[in-house]
């Protein structure tokens, strides 16, 4: 989006002049019809290696995985059914929309964590640490799955529909 004159590429179309691409992007972003996502290239070769995930909402498959993994609200003293899939480290604080940064919470605990003094942080082993406004700290991790050494757990996603009236 800078001042480069390198042509832009539109998927399934091909190259277009940089100035036209900047104009199209500015118009689409200004009208809330698009967003900008950064692509990262390997220095020297220009090979695409990764992209920024601008996604704040968890995709359906990721939500199902987190619900299966966490079983109930991740707040240690709660145990209520999961109603929200939320970021442990918020997106505005640099958190990513990922399996390791996602947790299942009940509605109450999800709302409570947004109040002043509450802080959730993520540890390298996947454990979430919750700090309350009183300074108490609680650790939360997903429950272990029952397994045998040769057993590989899998997720079955069952959907039930109501019979037509």
The reported pTM is 0.56
pLDDT above 80 for 66:
yes
What whole-number distance in Å separates Cα of residue 3 and Cα of residue 18? 8
Given a contact cutoff of 8 angstroms between Cβ atoms, the answer to whether 7 and 13 are in contact is no
**The pLDDT value given to residue 6:** 79
Mean pLDDT of 118-142: 86
What whole-number distance in Å separates Cα of residue 65 and Cα of residue 154? 10
Torsion of Cα atoms, 50 then 63 then 71 then 96, to 10°: 40
pLDDT above 90 for 140:
no
User: If we measure between CA atoms, which residue out of 100, 106, 103 comes closest to residue 80?
Assistant: 106
Q: Domain boundaries in the chain? A: 8-51, 60-140
What count of other Cβ atoms lies within 10 Å of the Cβ of residue 69?
Answer: 18
Who has greater pLDDT, 37 or 78? Answer: 78
What whole-number distance in Å separates Cα of residue 33 and Cα of residue 92? 22
Where does residue 86 rank: exposed (0-12), middle (13-18), buried (19+ CB within 10 A)?
buried
Banded model confidence at residue 48, pLDDT cuts 50, 70, 90: low
**The pLDDT value given to residue 18:** 84
Mean pLDDT of 108-118: 91
Banded model confidence at residue 81, pLDDT cuts 50, 70, 90: very high
Write the DSSP assignment of 18-38 as a string of letters.
HHHHHHHHHHHHHTTS-----
Give the lowest-confidence range in 39-43, 50-54, 60-64, 90-94: 50-54
């Amino acid at each position: 989006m800078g001042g480069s004159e390198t042509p832009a590429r539109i998927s399934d179309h091909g190259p277009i002049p940089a100035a036209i691409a900047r104009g199209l992007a500015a118009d689409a972003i200004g009208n809330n019809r698009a967003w900008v996502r950064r692509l990262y290239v390997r220095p020297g070769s220009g090979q695409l290696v990764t992209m920024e995930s601008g996604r704040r909402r968890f995709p359906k498959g990721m939500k199902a995985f987190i619900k299966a993994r966490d079983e109930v609200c991740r707040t240690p003293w709660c145990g209520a059914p999961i109603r929200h899939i939320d970021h442990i480290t918020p997106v505005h604080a640099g958190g990513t929309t990922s399996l390791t940064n996602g947790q299942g919470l009940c509605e109450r605990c999800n709302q409570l964590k947004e109040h002043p003094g509450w802080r959730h942080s993520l540890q390298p082993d996947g454990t979430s640490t919750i700090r309350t406004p009183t300074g108490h700290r609680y650790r939360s991790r997903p429950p272990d799955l029952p397994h045998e050494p040769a057993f590989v757990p899998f997720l079955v996603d069952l959907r039930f529909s109501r019979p037509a009236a």
